[in-house]
Amino acid sequence: MKAFQFMGLRGKLCTLERLLPKLALMFAAGCAQGWEKPVPATDGAPAVGGTNVGVERAALSTTQGVYVVALDASSNAYCDGVSYATDHGAALQACINNANADGGGTVLVRAGTYSTGSWPLIAASNVTIMGDGHLGAILKPTAGQIIGNVGNNVSIIGLTFDGTHVTEGAIRFNAGFGSGGSNVRIESNQFLLANTSAVGTSGIYSYRTSTAFDRVAIRGNAFVFSAGAGVGATPIDLESSSAAINYVRIENNDMSFSTPPHSPSYPIVVSSSAGTNVCLGLVINGNTVRSTTPFSGVDILLSGVADVSMSGNVLQTGGLQMLTGGGSTPCLGTVIGNVSRGTFQSASCSIQSAGNSLTSSTLPGGVPNVLVHAYRSGTQTFTVGTGTTVKFNVVDVDTGGNYNGSTGVFTAPVGGVYRVNACMRLSTSGFAAGDSSIASIYTSTLYSLHYVTSGGSNSFSNCVSDLVNVASGDPISINMDATGATTSRSISGTGRYSTYLAIERVSD
């Protein structure tokens, strides 16, 4: 009897198994009639030469809220089959607007290069913009930004942003949405940044004047800068003058520079001067900054930050600079397991750190950081045979107030090994062919020197560099002298890139 009951139950289960696919199809058909968005048979343009450039929508499923942008063989752009001719930006924006008007959806951008037409785009609220295929959808406008404003509840995923002509960010957060810019994901994109004429060539950029944004995740993106990609090349630059930037996660991004960009450069910047409305809940984990040679600047620059967690970052260039929290809010943070070839600086911040591999640092257990950069403004004359101290009279970095621009003397606040670099631009006046300039590093006595012979017709530079081991309280200065018959010579001071001094403590 029990055997017959079991066989009967098994038969019912088999019957149910055969019915399930049919029931699923009936349910899908009923849902499509009741609430799904009507969809055309194909997502692309009309047939070209007998072949439709789109694919059957059935291959995508008929889920409500998918809006498809595609190009045909003649580079005409389409949004859900509606032609926008060569105005690629208009086709993209139409699908974004349609998704937003329907209460939200996904804009699927087919592979191809979208370059002409109306830019920048507005990433309206409740919309996901997603590239089709492996970074094959390339957005490449001829000027400005690619996405010029970002709303709330926005995701931007799997696109290539070609920034050959971009200024102030391939993706820019503006204040046009009022409180827009909350709950935003920017993930798995590629940013190609190469505008050598632009100032502030950025991948993701914001500068808010009053409206805050929060809950922003920037993850798994690749930022590739070609040679000299603009002054201040910054892959991620989030700034606000009077509003908060809260709960931002910057994780697992890779930033590479084929050659050093124009200086200074800051690959990751988060900064708010909003008083007590400061940056809360900042997480910076697992990012890599790579360059063939170090450049002027720091890898991660934080200012006005109330609390931050940093771990697992590999910084091969300038290191970390963490400035004070905003207003009366204390600056708190944990810095764990980071690798840096540069320096880690922290001013007025309470930091817990462990397991970091650093060149030098003000973090607990690290080498106290000392950093100086100064340059010459205006001409300084010197007399041959007297050995004159060069006065770098404009001081733009001095972490401990140890350099006196009026006397040209740096006083070591702590003993150790210091890297000293100085360059002097010399006027041709008084230099005959074969005359030499002599640049020296002095501590209590002469430490090292460098000769450069003049050609007699053009101004020239003499640079001296060395590692100097000094005790606490020892002076370091740069001395200039020359050979030749004319007694009076001059050093030109035309800005920070002609006659300058850089000093950094690198070890005990």
Encode pLDDT of 432-459 as tens digits.
888 889 999 999 888 888 888 776 666 7
**Tokens encoding 66:** 């998918």
CA atoms within 13 A on the CB side of 383: 1
Range of the domain at 215: 119-361
Indicate if 486 and 434 belong to the same structural domain: yes
Which of 296, 330, 361 marks a domain boundary?
Answer: 361
Burial class (CB in 10 A: 0-12, 13-18, 19+), 448: middle
Is the confidence at residue 489, as pLDDT, over 60? yes
pLDDT of residue 163: 79
d(CA 433, CA 484): 9
Q: How many domains does the chain have?
A: 2
Is the confidence at residue 70, as pLDDT, over 80? yes
pLDDT of residue 298: 67
d(CA 41, CA 56): 6
Indicate if 329 and 376 belong to the same structural domain: no
* Start-to-end Cα distance in the chain: 89
**Cβ pair 225, 193 in contact under 8 A:** yes
Whether 383 maps to a domain, the answer reads: yes
Q: What is the pTM of this model?
A: 0.61
Are β-strands 403-404 and 409-411 bridged in parallel, bridged antiparallel, or unpaired?
Answer: antiparallel
Indicate if 170 and 303 belong to the same structural domain: yes
Indicate if 261 and 294 belong to the same structural domain: yes
Whether 206 maps to a domain, the answer reads: yes
Encode pLDDT of 227-242 as tens digits.
554 445 678 888 777 6
List Cα–Cα distances, 399 to 263, 277, 289, 298, 310, in angstroms. Answer: 19, 26, 24, 14, 22
Which of 339, 361, 383 marks a domain boundary?
Answer: 361
Indicate if 186 and 146 belong to the same structural domain: yes
Is the confidence at residue 265, as pLDDT, over 90? no
Which of 335, 361, 387 marks a domain boundary?
Answer: 361
- Is residue 264 reached through a cis peptide bond, with omega within 30 degrees of 0 on the bond before it? yes
d(CA 338, CA 287): 10
Encode pLDDT of 314-345 as tens digits.
876 655 655 544 444 556 778 877 777 665 66
Encode pLDDT of 199-229 as tens digits.
455 788 886 556 667 899 999 999 887 655 4
Encode pLDDT of 388-419 as tens digits.
999 999 987 787 788 999 999 999 988 888 88
